[in-house]
Each structure stands twice: as structure tokens, then as C-alpha cells.
Chain A
Amino acid sequence: MIPIETSGLTKYYDDLCAVDHLDLSVGNEIFGLLGPNGSGKTTTVLMLTTLLEPTAGSARICGFDTTREAREVRSQISYVPQEMAVDAKLTGRENVALFAKLYGIGGRDEAVDRALEMMDLAERADDLVRTYSGGMRRRLELAQALVHEPKVLFLDEPTIGLDVAARRKIWEHIRTLRSRGMTIFVTTHYMEEADASCDRVAILDRGRLVAIDSPAGLRARVGKDVISARVTGTITGRSPGGVELLGTRESGEIVFSTDHGSEKVPLIFRWLEDQGVMVHSLAVHEPTLDDVFLALVGSRDEARGFDDHRFRTILRRR
């Protein structure tokens, strides 16, 4: 049974295409959906969790159709939206117990204890959530989602707004869940996190799938090395042979990909100087998912301008 499968999954908001013929097949893995704001990540998750009806195409979760067999789908999954919705006036245990009751699971108290334990919240379980930190609240949401032992877990931006230590901890927990056989579908825009923890990632741009592979596989597509340059001035003309200009990062850095990076540094330096561009620094490093993203999608905002209309329409509609 394939945990998540979509074919031609499409969503239009009026004439705006939020998700465009998405074909995915997700196995027992941590699957990351990456993309800039407004690329259709959340819309995809909402369709997979039966909260939004696709305009065309279909999706199946553990063999159940998300529109015709919505109820069966809902009993296989858990969904944690990005908003961090836990009741501050209830205790941690009460928050998890609510979901245990609503899922109608047997052996409720043990299941609640187990979920809290798994998320390292047992000690603070009887404190009001008001006193919890952001990371603890997120883990509490995971405990709510885990209490009925779902087959597929959907996490929308699980580490957004958390500090570095809390993020690391969330990902540790996510990896533990995968090792217990759960399928985890996660959206994020933190590339390093996806790189470190996802088995496979898909990159979405304006609702369209532009790449799908393991993080290592994607990095290999960029080339052996990446050179980033901090410069003043405008670049014109073609890059020298064996060097590909990937684009400009949000920080203003210009990024090239090449084989044998350190040998190409003098070549790039001379090429930039010849155009009258002042070079402040050149650095060679191994490609990251950020570089892949730059190569496939372009700079997130600046290269094509922030699409305000698209962003607002998608936000308003969900």
C-alpha cells in the first residue's frame, strides 16, 4: 500500500493555478516539500488532508481517495498546521487527551502518557500550556498528532518560528517516528533542515514540480563545487567556459557552479575584473540545497519580483 499517491492533482483559485498537475508517490520515508512562499505547498497539504477539494486530479492516502473516502483518509493521518494551535488554558495532558477522545482510541490514558513521554513532555504534562516554550508547544502538537498512531503524518512548516535548539529537537523526533515506520510529509523552507533530515525532497515552484530526488541527488545535479562571490557592479556577458552562473542570492551574492572549484577561482576573478566589477570575496564550497534551489527556481523574490497578488490570493483562500 503506497502511503501517499497523487495523479494530476490540481487546484485553481478562480483563474489562479495554485497547484498544477502534481504527480507524487511517497513511500515510507520523510518526504520534504520545498518551495518559496506561495508556491502551493500548503494548498497541496490541505488537499492531501481532505480539507480542500482538488479542482482536477486525485490523491490517495493508504489507498483511500481523499474526496470519495475522506473519512477513511482522516483515520489514517494526522495533520499539524503551521499555526501552532494548542489551548494555552489547558494543561499539556488535557490537550493530548482531547485528541485521544476525539479519535476514540481504546486505552486512552496509557496512549496519552505514551505520546507525552515520546515527546519528552511527561514531566510538564500537568502544567498549563501557557507556561510552555514555543518548542514545547510544537512537541505538544506532535504528541496530539501521534496519540492515535497514524500511518501518515503531515507537518506544515514544523520548525517555523523556533530557535535552533528547538528545531534540532523537532527533527530528531521526526526521524525517530520514521524509524518506527511512519510516513512523514513535511513542508519547509529551511533548506539545511530538509537536506539533513529528508529522505527525498520535491521542489515546487508556482504550483509546478520542478525536481524530485534525494538531497544528495539534487546537490549532484548542480555540479561538484559552488563558488559564491561578493561583488560591487553589474555582470554582463557569458560566464567563462566550464563555469555556470546559477544566479544571485537574496543576500546579493553571485553564485557559480563548476567542477574543480579552486582551480576556477582565478578564472572567475579575472572575468569579473575585466568587466569592471569589484570583487570583495570569492569562496568555494560544496553545493547545498540552497544552491539547487537557486539553480532551479531562481532567487526567491528578487529575480522575478514578489508576486503579491498570487501570495494574497493563496493566503486568503486557505
Chain B
Amino acid sequence: MRDTFYYFERDMLRWVRGRISVISALIMPAAWLIFVGLALPTTFSEHYIDFITPGILVLTMLGASLQGGSLLIFDKILGFLNKFLALPSSRESILFGKILFITTRGLIQATVILVLAWVLGASLLSPAGILLSYGILALFGILLSAFSTTIALYLSDHDAYAAFNAMVSMPLFFTSSALMPYNVMPAWLSAIAYWNPVSFAIDSIRSLQEGVLAWTRIGALGLLAVLVVSFCIHKFRKVTI
């Protein structure tokens, strides 16, 4: 377990010293919040920014997690992964280190978005609600970063990973409940959106706004995370070059 922290520490130092990437990752969610959250003329909500904020928070985690997979791609291309795999420490600690770093980074970015939403006029949750939102975002981050890191293990170069990222991120976002409630979606979309893991996270946070804990949605997210992470551990343990 200590090894997980050492891998995390390495990625964190590299990120903090990178500077530009700290800011660039925030541009897209901030743009969504400002240009869509404030400007879109919606009819189903009086205060659209309150409705869209949970969606943008989850989008931030989604983007951060999928982007995070490229960390492993670079470790692999540049020869770091080979060195790490030849170490006696457990191989899943490489995976856990990435999950911890990518999720932490995502939560830091989500915090900036949360503050921005508040500045733009979104109403704030209760302290308990904020804490639970962070828990849900973390769970979502763990699920997605485990997934993207394991995909990266099997892709050979950065172009292939960028293609995967583009193929997955936008469809996942647009087929979720991020932008509109189920009752205004076309029937075919609402069926897809309901089973989209991105909606699990968004709906969970949204129900916190009403002071309700959506156990089935949180449970679905948790169950999926357990399944995916177990599968990823299995893959990391037996990986060969």
C-alpha cells in the first residue's frame, strides 16, 4: 500500500511542476458552465445553472479521468513502465497509484469548478451535501481512472489513446442526464441515459440538492466501480510487455 503512495507522489510532483497543465484542464468545464450554464434558454428550469452544475462537476471528473489514462501511455512509451514492472513491489500498486493521483487531481479541478459555479450564482449545498458530493465524485473518478488506465495498458501509442478518449468521452457525456432531465429527453435517449454510469453520478449529486440520498444510483455506481477495479487489478497482475 505504501508503494501506491510513492507512485502517487511521483505523478503529483510532476503535475505540480508542469504548471500549464494545471490550468488547461479547467478550461473546458469552465466554458461549459459559463457558455451553456448561463446562456442556454431552457424551459424546464428556472435556474439552469443549479441544474447543470452537478453535470459539469461529473464532466470535470470524466475529462480528468480519461485524460489520466495518457499518463500510463507515456510511462509505457518512455520506458518507465518496464522499469516499474521489473520491481519486486506489487504490480497493482502501479494501478492504485494512478487511480489515486487521477482522482485527486480530478477532485481539485472539481473544487475550482464548484467555486466558479457559486460565483456565477449557483446555490450551494449543505456542508453534508458537499461532503457526500465529493464522495460520489471520488467513486466516479476511481471507476473511470481504473478503466482508462487499464485501456492504456493495452494501447500502443498516444494517438491510439487520443482516439479512444475522443470516442468515449463525448458520447458518454451527451448520453447522460448532464444537460437535461429525463422527462424532456426523447424516449430513446432517456433509456440510454438512465443506464449510463455518468448519469449514476449526476443523478446522485442532483438528488442531494433536494436533500435525498439516491441509494440505488449510488449503489449502482459503487457496484460498477468494484467490478471494474477488480477486473483491472487482475489485468495488471498478469501483464507482460
Residues of A within 8 A of B (CB): 46, 49-53, 71, 74-75, 77-85, 87, 89-90, 94, 98-99, 101-104, 144, 316-318
**CB pair A71 B14 closer than 8 Å:** no
**CB pair B14 A74 closer than 8 Å:** no
What is the minimal beta-carbon distance from B236 to any residue of chain A, in angstroms?
A: 13
Which B residues touch A89, using CB under 8 A? 13-14, 17-18
**Which of B22-30, B79-87, B131-139 is found at the contact surface with chain A?**
B79-87
Which A residues touch B241, using CB under 8 A? 46, 51-52, 317-318
Which of B2, B6, B85, B240 is in CB contact (< 8 Å) with A98?
B6
Given contacts A46-B241, A53-B240, A85-B79, are A94 and B89 in contact (CB under 8 A)? no
**CB pair B85 A94 closer than 8 Å:** no
**CB pair A79 B83 closer than 8 Å:** yes
Residues of B within 8 A of A (CB): 2-3, 6-7, 9-10, 13-14, 17-18, 78-80, 82-89, 156, 240-241
Main secondary structure of the interface of B (DSSP, over half): helix
> 4 closest pairs, A vs B, by CB?
A83-B79, A85-B79, A75-B88, A79-B86
Which A residues touch B7, using CB under 8 A? 102
Which A residues touch B14, using CB under 8 A? 87, 89-90
What is the minimal beta-carbon distance from A303 to any residue of chain B, in angstroms?
A: 31
Between-chain CB contacts (< 8 Å), 26 pairs: A46-B241, A51-B86, A53-B240, A71-B88, A74-B86, A74-B88, A75-B88, A77-B86, A80-B83, A82-B79, A83-B79, A85-B79, A85-B80, A85-B82, A87-B10, A87-B14, A89-B18, A90-B10, A90-B13, A98-B10, A101-B2, A101-B6, A104-B2, A104-B3, A104-B89, A318-B241
Which single residue of chain B is at the shortest CB-CB distance from A80? B83
Which single residue of chain B is at the shortest CB-CB distance from A67? B240
Given contacts A46-B241, A51-B86, A104-B89, are A81 and B79 in contact (CB under 8 A)? yes
Which A residues touch B6, using CB under 8 A? 98, 101-102
**CB pair B78 A74 closer than 8 Å:** no
